[in-house]
Amino acid sequence: MSSHGTKVLWAPWRMSYITKGSVEGCIFCKAAVGIDEDNYVILRSGRALAMLNVFPYNTAHVMIAPVRHVARPEFLDAEEALEIFSALSRVIRAIDEEYGPQGYNIGVNVGRVAGAGVESHIHVHVVPRWLGDTNFMTAISGAKVMPEDLRVTYSRLKKRLGLQP
């Protein structure tokens, strides 16, 4: 308790994200040519990649994107679409085995008005859900408590996918 009677929640691992500032350019294009660990890329194929969301809605929130910079689903070629959905299947199996969620929110936001944070590069959100994962912190205070360090999530999923970090 603080001197004002307020409970303090410590999340020191978040400081690295707060102090990073905004990323210049497209995060998916950067991840496509960057170092997996630096970009939290857990899986890649020739035409698609899967990476942890560094501002997750829940633990193990993954985004899957084509390697090619393309904004909308109708601009994907058949091979890209196949690799994205193949990665989606692998990611879901890995999260199921490692975390045992009871459900998922899976979706694509096309355009700013639809909620796209990165409008110019299409990506699929994979958000694991557990009964009770929304509690008073989220509902009343507008804060979300993440129970696991992103680096731990990265290591767990890379191992589960058979790709040692």
- In the block, tokens 């679409």 appear at 81
What average pLDDT score do residues 77-83 get? 97
Q: If we measure between CA atoms, which residue out of 30, 28, 57, 42 comes closest to residue 130?
A: 57
Lowest mean pLDDT among 28-32, 92-96, 128-132: 128-132
What average pLDDT score do residues 97-112 get? 95
Centre a 10 Å sphere on the Cβ of residue 57 and count the other Cβ atoms it contains.
16
* Rounded Cα distance, 110 and 161, in Å: 28
Q: Which of 61, 69, 121, 123 is catalytic?
A: 123
Domains of the chain: 23-160 (3.30.428.10)
* Residues 142, 146, 150, 152, Cα dihedral to 10°: 180
pTM of the entire structure? 0.82
Looking at the chain, the whole-number percentage of residues with pLDDT higher than 90 is: 64
Q: Which residue has the higher pLDDT, 41 or 4?
A: 41
Q: What is the 3-state secondary structure (H, E, C) of 71-93?
A: CCHHHCCHHHHHHHHHHHHHHHH
Lowest mean pLDDT among 25-29, 101-105, 112-116: 112-116
Q: Is the pLDDT of residue 152 over 70?
A: yes
Per-residue pLDDT band for 1 (boundaries 50, 70, 90) equals very low
Per-residue pLDDT band for 116 (boundaries 50, 70, 90) equals confident
Pairing of strands 124-129, 103-107: antiparallel
pLDDT digits (tens, 9 = 90+) for 54-73: 989 899 999 999 999 999 99
At 6 the pLDDT is 60
Q: What is the 3-state secondary structure (H, E, C) of 7-54?
A: CCCCCHHHHHHHCCCCCCCCHHHHHHHCCHHHHCEEEECCCEEEEECC
What average pLDDT score do residues 93-101 get? 97
Q: Is 61 a catalytic residue?
A: no
